[in-house]
Structure 1
């Protein structure tokens, strides 16, 4: 399958992956990203450390709840999600890690809300394994780890078997379908009944919640926390969202059943805070509140990050090539502006229009390119606090644009 057209047929044949092309260009790279056992261990260590830091952050916020209002300024429905979760936030996450030109490993963020990439990580590695003899597939056991996570999460609430799972996702977004298909396939292979639908298909029952009228034991939530609540513009010239109202009825139904311990939610709604990029600023602005060990990990793995309300805008203009602007809940694209890759005029306009309470400025770091000039973004999946697999995206210009996905292998043979 060294011909991309042949590979594309194999992609379609999986029944899970789709769209081998994006905007007319190959979406995947056939040549794997080969990492050494040493680098794999370093990346796993970094991902687990960053997850630990987010747990430490949550414990600080539970002890000092006034920060939720003073530091984050969450909307009423976002505060409701946080309070209902009772500090529960983690199940499945993906740490986006980069090997820098100076040898450091930096984490630009921990995707703790609705992390993606799992189907590509598993099936792409499987499809290209034969072309990489002698290499170890680090994602081979991901499905088993995924199922273990859901069962353990369910077992914390009840000793009854996990038999019915509801997957809630934005049904209008086709790019999520491969993930829903993968999750469903893994669950159904274990004899677990799966129901899929949108938040609008949720309703409260006397004993829990139902999705499309079918009672479920566990909700696998792949619908972003900031979409459940009020949707606010982050740019001064933005017109706002046409659907800016919170999903009041389904959200209250799910939160109530969760609080009453009648349903398990993965990921828990506490991710409304850990996904918020102001948490990255909290690490640096409130570093003295963390233990000495945690402070070392912050300096080691988290790039310097500050709320836009706390850093001089003149400084940002003068130091354009040293900073990246990121909105609180935005991802790549219009809500991330990388100073070194835009003109001074674009940078100054972005600073002018960014609503300060919704943005952070994060220190830019130079990524070490591979032998072909690609810039690797190593997404390390974390399940229940432990590293569980790799998802590598490669780009030529920056980490946010023109990315392709490569299979990821560890060099050498398993012991």
Structure 2
């Protein structure tokens, strides 16, 4: 059972400086409370503190600007999905999807969204930039919700933007379920499908499980290998499920291919044929709601950002303006002049099509010329994009805030914020964000 009642954020020192004995003592007390949640069990990662005890305070205007940008790009991606659905030739001619990736997209009906998280930055000198969107298996929900809950008393005058995340999530999930299946039940059984051999997102899985069980839902946890289809149901182990929360990346369901010329083949490169077909067939029969839908195989692909720039004229005027304002200039690497990228190293960032959490991201400004040149030589160019580097605004206390804005059903509903000095990755510490109406 989750409990945070023994932690009193008001007892923290007024000024907290990381690395000092006072901070270490305060963090130890904080870590003990995290353990007692029975959800977050990793307050340290590789010996470093995973969480910041000093919240970030932003104004109502800042929150609205960040939310507006995220929602605008969500609408852009909805247009992109509709455009590619009408013109499926792009799957081959622009995106180069594999056969099983195309299967996922073509059986989705163009549906791609239930929950997404966008990496949103305030730009130095003004403006907002969104460098990517995780529309496939967005994580960080446990950190976002629990950290804000624990630290809210430290700034009681401020508003918690994540306070309604749980209710918003549950309401939207049940609405999607009722829209997807032919004979919805009052209490559907929920299966959470995730890579059981990887612990990184276990806290999110446990948080979801606690939310559902508190409302009386039956919850089953398992990996894709535990799926099977019967005549009348999709089963996880032997339990029929009605909602499949898919926290297993779309590019792992299909063919797994290297993104580097000198990279070894995956030990398990073949698609999950049986498991994928079980999901797709049950979904097609209206027996299960899959969230996020498998159509996220397209929107998760970072080549979409290059598509937005190359085919801006095909989008609505509102979306064209949003692309120009919020998405950094992005091109497929195969369309770029390599000599230009070598000469303008500090102006560009390389990203693979399905890399996540900072993996397969090479920032020219923070990379040696030798590594940059080698990356350009060894990258399988059809699988990469080059995105123009932008200077993010630094916080007054130091570091750059990656305001991860969650969208549920296209509406912004909270932050998962990490503070870094270079690129954001899994080790980047998390910070609570609160809205202070006294800030102009």
Which TM-score bucket, shorter chain as reference? over 0.9
Runs of at least 5 residues in structure 1 that lack an aligned partner in the other structure: none
- What is the CA deviation profile of residues 91-125 of structure 1, one whole-angstrom value per residue up to 9, with x for unaligned ones? 00001100010211100111100000101111001
The alpha-carbon deviation at position 364 of structure 1 amounts to: 0.5
- What is the CA deviation profile of residues 205-236 of structure 1, one whole-angstrom value per residue up to 9, with x for unaligned ones? 21220001100111000000000111100001
Q: SS of the residue aligned with 1:362?
A: strand
Q: SS of the residue aligned with 2:287?
A: coil
Contact 1:375 1:399 in 2 (8 A): no
Partner of 1:329: 354
In 2: Cα distance, 1:398 partner to 1:359 partner: 17
Q: Tell me whether 1:110 sits opposite 2:110 in the alignment.
A: no
Partner of 2:239: 214
Contact 2:358 2:423 in 1 (8 A): no
Contact 1:317 1:348 in 2 (8 A): yes
What does residue range 9-408 of structure 1 map to in structure 2 within 5 Å?
9-157=32-180, 158=182, 159-400=184-425, 403-408=428-433
In 2: Cα distance, 1:145 partner to 1:373 partner: 33
Q: SS of the residue aligned with 1:85?
A: coil
In 2: Cα distance, 1:25 partner to 1:186 partner: 29
Over aligned residue pairs, what C-alpha RMSD do you find? Answer: 1.2
In 2: Cα distance, 1:171 partner to 1:100 partner: 38
Contact 1:162 1:217 in 2 (8 A): no
The alpha-carbon deviation at position 402 of structure 1 amounts to: 5.3
Contact 1:97 1:107 in 2 (8 A): yes
The alpha-carbon deviation at position 18 of structure 1 amounts to: 1.4
In 1: Cα distance, 2:202 partner to 2:82 partner: 35
The alpha-carbon deviation at position 301 of structure 1 amounts to: 0.7
Runs of 4+ residues over 4 Å off in structure 1: none
Contact 2:334 2:381 in 1 (8 A): yes
Per mean C-alpha deviation after superposition, the further-off stretch among 393-402 and 31-40 is 393-402
Contact 2:222 2:236 in 1 (8 A): yes
In 2: Cα distance, 1:218 partner to 1:178 partner: 20
In 2: Cα distance, 1:144 partner to 1:385 partner: 15
- What is the CA deviation profile of residues 337-374 of structure 1, one whole-angstrom value per residue up to 9, with x for unaligned ones? 00000111111110000000100000101010011221
In 1: Cα distance, 2:218 partner to 2:141 partner: 20
The alpha-carbon deviation at position 63 of structure 1 amounts to: 1.3
Partner of 2:27: 4
Runs of at least 5 residues in structure 2 that lack an aligned partner in the other structure: 1-8, 13-25
Contact 1:395 1:401 in 2 (8 A): no
Partner of 2:4: none
Contact 1:395 1:402 in 2 (8 A): no
The alpha-carbon deviation at position 401 of structure 1 amounts to: 7.8
In 1: Cα distance, 2:133 partner to 2:161 partner: 20
Contact 1:168 1:221 in 2 (8 A): yes
In 1: Cα distance, 2:314 partner to 2:233 partner: 38
- What is the CA deviation profile of residues 363-405 of structure 1, one whole-angstrom value per residue up to 9, with x for unaligned ones? 1010100112211000000000100111110012333485210
TM-score, normalised with respect to structure 1 = 0.97
Q: SS of the residue aligned with 2:118?
A: strand
